[in-house]
Amino acid sequence: MEARSSSSSSSATTPALLLLLLAAALHGGDATPPPVKLAGGARHVAFDEGYTQMFGDGNLALLRHGRRVHLTLDESTGAGFASQDVFLHGFFSAAIKLPSDYAAGVVVAFYLSNGDTYEKTHDELDFEFLGNVRGREWRVQTNVYGNGSTAAGREERYDLPFDPSDEFHHYSILWTPHRIIFYVDETPIREVVRTAEMGAAFPAKPMAVYATIWDGSAWATLGGRYRVNYKYAPFVAEFADFVLHGCAVDPSSSAAAVEHSITAAAAARGYEEAAVLSLSTAANRAAMAAFRRGHMSYSYCHDRRRYPVALSECAAGGGGDLRRVFGPDGMRYDGRHRRPRRSGRDASS
């Protein structure tokens, strides 16, 4: 079995290419997504080059020749789209501008998943943006699920240092065989390193890329206390600057065949080297530590009510120097965050 190449993927990724990709694609923050020149076939793709509508009928709108997409939530439905290919490892990014004003209960997501193929053993990597009442910030949550391990989710939640509804910001995921790095604009905010103890809980099967907006009233805002108020509808999330730079594979092939593909293996080595280099400088490590120290509001590694025995990576030091500012429910207790009861699979803040 050979990995398939496409206009949105690269079968021979080099560390230099990936570092240039990261430096370019993560330069965001303007009201209009900035023009970006990407190297070696890695480039921004228009919607119809890399994605297809998943649901929402008229609630997905293409603008600027498909370079910008609006997803709308109203009383009838939300909306979503998915990549045309499935990928084994790669770099995936989008510039996103979230709905403004009152957005309680609204969930916007940019994520990788294979739930349609592996119903009970799916993998997933998430950015989930959780709306809030007027005057309180949107929150972003990153999740890592492997092999259907949603009961042992590895959620972290952050208060962003900017208003994500004011302008576009880039949100990116670099996924390799041995680590996952989440980025907000140019800043790495989280690294998940594969360990032997994690076993199959580390995402390792090909995934597609998705974006959705939907009604999460049951849990998204203060454990479901505040629901979507459709008086403020429609809620519109804007997407642009799509980057799909991964090893596209045949979804009908077995996971073992994909993993042992020569093309996929070569690409995986390139992504791994790029990930290591991405966090090899003291400046990048310091930037990630500062973001986590200043903006993390929930950490599964500190949630002793949910995990009386910490997961392996936490016990090995995943908590870092943040233990002193988190309570036993995993919520930050420095006075900036409330700690209501949790509902469902997620922490509330």
Active-site residues, by number, are 124, 128
Q: What is the H or E stretch that residue 44 is in? A: none
User: Do residues 281 and 210 touch, judged by C-beta distance below 8 A?
Assistant: no
Structural Rg of the chain based on CA atoms:
19
User: Do residues 108 and 221 touch, judged by C-beta distance below 8 A?
Assistant: no
Identity (one letter) of the amino acid at 136?
R
CA distances from 4 to 9, 40, 84 (A): 9, 17, 12
Token digits of residue 172: 């990116």
The SS3 assignment for 188 reads: strand
For 163, residues 6+ apart whose C-beta sits below 8 A from its C-beta are: 137, 138
Q: What is the H or E stretch that residue 237 is in? A: strand 235-249
Token digits of residue 346: 């997620």
Instruction: Give me the residues paired with residue 170 across strands.
Output: 95
The SS3 assignment for 70 reads: strand
Q: What is the H or E stretch that residue 53 is in? A: strand 51-55
Distance CA 171, CA 274 (A): 17
Identity (one letter) of the amino acid at 310?
A
